[in-house]
Amino acid sequence: MENNKPTEHDITEVVAQQSAANPSENGVVMVINHGKVHPPFSVLWTTVLYCAEFICASVLSSMYHKSDDVVWMGLTITFMLVPSVLTQLTLTFVHRDLGRDRPLVLFMHLLQMGPIIRCIEALLVYCQAGKKEEPYVTISRKIKLKHGRGLGPAFECEIGHSERKLAVHRNAFKRTAVIQAFLGSTPQLTLQLYATIQEKYVLPTRLALMIISMISIVYGALVCSVLAIQIKYDDYKVRMKPIAYLCMILWRGLEIATRITTLVLFSTTLTVWVVLVGLTNLFIFFFQPWVEFWARKASLPENVEKNFSKLGTTVVLCMVTFLYACINIFCWSAVQLDLSDHDLVEKQPRWRSLAVYYTLRFMENVTLMILWYYFKSDFYEYICTPLLVVQLIVCYGLAVIFMLIFHQFCHPCRRLFHYNVEDCLRCSCCWKKKQSQPPENHAQGPQEHTPPDLTNYLTDRETDIVDDFMEAA
């Protein structure tokens, strides 16, 4: 006999069509989907990067030990173990394993193999998902985006146990990827590149470690950007296109590579001064969120963690701001911290902060390259140093261009911006044009040189977005 039992996908389509035809009073369409579980590729990729970098750093440390390079060995081990320990603590904290009877998992974390056992758990959950019907544990409500614009009523999806467990794993590994990238891979890459220049030869193992570290840093920067978008636009179903990822990879790769190369070249000539530059950047970005927090006279956010006291919350916030500062030393963090908010992130993008950051960073990189050019050692006699300086400046300029292209054309929520790149450039050009006009021209015809009213322009452009919000409410 032929089996006519409908599949879960058919049930999903039927319920979605019926709900769309007869929406509820609040305009919310209910979609039931228990069987669509995506593979945990991000968990697997983060685990592979963690293991590859840990193994390469261990082999390189052994080679340093055999050649009696105590300084290189000590720093390599430090930049290998510190982010590894923080990764174990993060995974344990997110999964709340300290209050559960899981001795094997805790033992694996003590052996610095926590990501491996967590990855195996995620793969097992994915393989077992969909084999039996699961009751849903929560409901997710999102507004569907099309061409960067919110359309139609909100959709509610039931989330089962397997999907929720995988979501917890993904969120945990996203945080560990950022920690590994900017507290481990970034200093590791800087150290190995500096050692290569000082020793004037390239070890194959060292080269492999530098390549893996660079991949880890770029991936961590991509995770920062995607997390920032998901946090700011939490009410929307955000999907990134391949062209957006490509643009982000070029933007982040050029930005990070140029920054690290500039710092390393400068450190080979003025070693003491590079420490001052690094500490100055660290203190500025560490205390910036706290100064804004004290200026607002705000209070500490509640429910950051239920079992935390005010002291525990302060310690967690200090760790978050330290990670935020380490990210901004090498690249744009994509978020602005708001220590008084429960999510710790400002929801509204601030173009002024972005412009100030890249302007000052570009000026700093150019200054460091000029100082290196005038105080460089004899080692660089066989290198065309002017061409190298120009290449680094051009590469950072290309990174800024790809960043502008991403926000103008590839950002998944670009139509929801109050102001985009085009508006800011148009406003800036109109202001400069007005300033360049002589005073008598302003007196004769002030209306001819008045800059366009961006508020009215944006109101016309965003009318349908506001209507969508009202319908969804």
Residues 374-380: what's their mean pLDDT? Answer: 78
Q: Are 195 and 206 in contact (CB under 8 A)?
A: yes
Residue 141: predicted pLDDT: 62
**Is residue 43 within 8 Å of 30, Cβ to Cβ?**
no
Q: Which two tokens stand for residue 137?
A: 């544990």
Query: Quick one: pLDDT at residue 134?
Result: 61
Q: What angle do CA 261, 365, 265 make, to 5 degrees?
A: 35
User: pLDDT, tens digit, for every residue of 9-37?
Assistant: 443 443 444 444 444 445 555 554 545 67
What's the half-sphere exposure (Cβ side, CA atoms, 13 Å) at 334? 21
Query: Backbone dihedral region of 68: left (phi > 0), alpha (psi from -120 to 50 degrees) or beta?
Result: left
**Which residue type occupies 454?**
L
Mean pLDDT of the chain: 78
Q: Token pair for residue 469?
A: 């919000």
CA-to-CA distance for 222 and 308, rounded, in angstroms? 30
Alpha-carbon distances, residue 367 vs 191, 379, 398 (angstroms): 22, 21, 18
Cα–Cα distance list, 54 to 23, 109, 117, 118 (Å): 53, 14, 16, 17
Comparing C-alpha atoms, which of 334, 301, 321, 313 is closest to residue 233? 334
Average pLDDT of the residues in 325-338: 90
- pLDDT above 90: percentage of residues in the chain: 40
Q: Which residue has the higher pLDDT, 357 or 2?
A: 357
Rounded to an integer, what distance in angstroms lies between the CA atom of residue 364 and that of residue 369?
Answer: 9
Range of weakest confidence among 71-80, 96-105, 168-177, 211-220: 96-105
CA atoms of 64 and 55, how far apart (whole Å): 14
Domain ranges of the chain: 21-239, 240-424
Predicted structure pTM score:
0.81
Residues 6+ apart with CB under 8 A from 17: none
CA nearest neighbour of 44 among 130, 121, 96: 121
Asked if 53 contacts 212 with a C-beta cutoff of 8 angstroms, the reply is yes
Q: What confidence score (pLDDT) does residue 345 get? A: 79
144-199 pLDDT tens trace: 666 555 555 666 666 777 788 888 889 899 999 999 999 999 999 999 999 999 88
pLDDT tens digits, 45-63: 999 999 999 999 999 999 9
pLDDT confidence bin for 103, thresholds 50/70/90: confident
Distance of CA 145 to the CA centre of its chain: 21
Higher pLDDT: 303 or 284? It is 284
